[in-house]
Amino acid sequence: MPRMIDLVRKSQMSSNMMQAAARGALAVAPAEMIEILVHLALHNKVFGELARMTLAGWDEKASIGVASDPATSKEVLEYLISPKNLRPALLPALLENRSITEEELKELATTGSRTIVDAMLISRRVALSPGLIEALKSNPRLRANELAAVSAPPAVEKVQEGPLQPLPAEAAQPANAPSDGAPFPPSAEDAEIEDEQVLAQAIDYYLQANAAELATLSDKPFEAVRPTHEELPTDGKPESGAPKATSFALRPAKKPAAPGEERRDSTLQKIAKLDVKGRIALAMRGSKEERSILIRDGTKLVALAVLDSPKISDGEVEKFALQKNVLEAVLRQIPLKRRFAKNYTIMRNLVFNPRTPIDLSLGLMKNLLVHDLKNLSGNKEVSETIRKLALRMFKQKTEKKKDD
C-alpha cells in the first residue's frame, strides 16, 4: 500500500482529503504528516497557506524530533531551516543535524537574525567548525564581545571536557566570614555598594559590547517611538469589539516658575538632555518611571538596555510586552531572556500585541491556555493569520479535553 505522502505528491486524493491533510488531520506518523504539510506548503496553491499555518503551530516536541533526525527528507529540512519558516525552538536541533550541510548553515550564519546568532553561539557544531565561525564573524548582528569569544572555540572545548577542579581553600571561604565558617550578614552600606558595583559592571559590559555601534550614535537625541498610523487613537467611534479610543489633546502650558523658585526638570526633560551613553546608563540604573520612558526610545541600544537592567521587574516587562509604541527589536528580545520566557503573562501579552512580529507570535501561541486562545481568535487587532490559527488550536484543545 502506498504511503500517504506518495498519494499527495501524485494528486491522487480527493479535495476533502487534501484539506484534511493541510489541517494535519490524517492518521499518519508525525514525521510523515510534517512531510505532507511541507509538500503542500511548497507545491499546492489551493491548500498551501493552510498547510503553512498548520506547520507554524505544529506540536513542538514532534517538530524537534523531525528536525533532529538525519533521515528526515531534504525538502523538509530545507523548509524548516529557511529563515522565513524558521521556528526558534527548532533551531538547536537543526544546527546539529548533519543532513543539513555546512554550506546551508554558512548562509544562515552570515545573514541570520539576532535569534539565529544566539543559537549558533551555543552550538557545539558551530564551535567546532572553522568555516561556520568565519561565516558567523561576518554577521553584522554579532557583538564585539561575542566576536572575541568565538575566535577561540578549541579552548572552550578543553574546558568543557576537562575534569572539574575544586576551589582552593582560601577561595572557598567568604572574605567576610568568621573563623567558624558562618559568614556575617552584610550591612546595608555593603549591600548598596555591591548593588552599585553590579550596575556599574553591567553598564560597562553593555557599552563595550556595543562600542562599534555606539560610535555612530553618540549624538543621537531622544525620540520616542510612536504607534503606526493604524494604531493612533482617533476621535471617532471605535469599531465593534475594539478597545475604546482615546484622543490626544494638547494640555495648556504650565505657568512659568516664579522668580527665585527652584524648579526641577521633569523626567522627560532630563532624558532629553542626555546623549546615547547617558541614556543607556540611566536605563540600567534609573527608576521605574525612567525605564518606562526609555523603553520607547527610538535608538535600539537604549531601549534594549532597559531589558538588561538588573533592577527591572517582571511587572514592568508585562506592560512593555503589550505596548504598541516600542521598537520591534524590544518585542523580539523579551522572549530571548530566560527569566521573562518563563512568565506566562509576558508571553501571552506578546501574542496579543498587534505590533509583535507574526513569526514570533506563531512560535509563542502553542503555550497559550484554552481561554486565551478563544479570546485571541476574536481579537480584531491582531492579524487574520493569528486569529485563524488561534481558533484552530482552541478547537483542537477543546476536543482533546472532551476525549480525555
pLDDT over 80 at 396, yes or no: yes
The whole-number average pLDDT for the span 140-147 is 80
Q: Which residue has the higher pLDDT, 124 or 228?
A: 124
The whole-number average pLDDT for the span 383-397 is 91
Percentage of the chain surpassing pLDDT 90?
35
Q: Where exactly are the structural domains of the chain?
A: 1-100, 112-156, 191-235+267-312, 339-404
Give the pLDDT confidence score for residue 76 in this predicted structure.
Answer: 95
Return the amino acid letter for 210: N
385: nearest Cα among 359, 364, 367, 366: 359
Give the pLDDT confidence score for residue 2 in this predicted structure.
Answer: 66
Give the pLDDT confidence score for residue 105 in this predicted structure.
Answer: 93
List the single range of 85-89, 175-179, 216-220, 353-357 with lowest mean pLDDT.
175-179
CA distance between the termini of the chain: 32
The answer to whether the CB of 100 falls within 8 A of the CB of 81 is yes
The whole-number average pLDDT for the span 327-347 is 90
Give the pLDDT confidence score for residue 248 in this predicted structure.
Answer: 34
Give the pLDDT confidence score for residue 153 in this predicted structure.
Answer: 43
Banded pLDDT at 306 (limits 50, 70, 90): very high
Give the pLDDT confidence score for residue 387 in this predicted structure.
Answer: 92
List the single range of 233-237, 325-329, 396-400 with lowest mean pLDDT.
233-237
Give the pLDDT confidence score for residue 3 in this predicted structure.
Answer: 78
List the single range of 30-34, 45-49, 343-347, 399-403 with lowest mean pLDDT.
399-403
List the single range of 65-69, 120-124, 251-255 with lowest mean pLDDT.
251-255
Give the pLDDT confidence score for residue 382 in this predicted structure.
Answer: 92
Average pLDDT, the chain: 79
Percentage of the chain surpassing pLDDT 70?
78
Question: Alpha-carbon dihedral of residues 22, 27, 32, 37, nearest 10 degrees?
Answer: 0
Q: Which residue has the higher pLDDT, 221 or 401?
A: 221
Give the pLDDT confidence score for residue 229 in this predicted structure.
Answer: 45
Give the pLDDT confidence score for residue 212 in this predicted structure.
Answer: 83
Whole-prediction pTM value?
A: 0.50
Q: Which residue has the higher pLDDT, 263 or 33?
A: 33
On the 0-12 / 13-18 / 19+ scale of CB atoms within 10 A, 50 is buried
Give the pLDDT confidence score for residue 404 in this predicted structure.
Answer: 61
pLDDT tens-digit map of 206-238: 888 888 888 888 778 888 888 754 444 434 343
Give the pLDDT confidence score for residue 350 in this predicted structure.
Answer: 95
pLDDT tens-digit map of 156-203: 333 343 443 443 443 333 344 444 444 444 444 444 544 677 778 788
Banded pLDDT at 261 (limits 50, 70, 90): very low
Report the alpha-carbon distance of residue 367 to residue 345 in Å, rounded. Answer: 11
pLDDT over 50 at 268, yes or no: yes
The answer to whether the CB of 181 falls within 8 A of the CB of 154 is no
Report the alpha-carbon distance of residue 301 to residue 215 in Å, rounded. Answer: 12
Give the pLDDT confidence score for residue 163 in this predicted structure.
Answer: 42
Give the pLDDT confidence score for residue 265 in this predicted structure.
Answer: 56
Banded pLDDT at 315 (limits 50, 70, 90): very high
Give the pLDDT confidence score for residue 25 in this predicted structure.
Answer: 87
pLDDT over 90 at 37, yes or no: yes
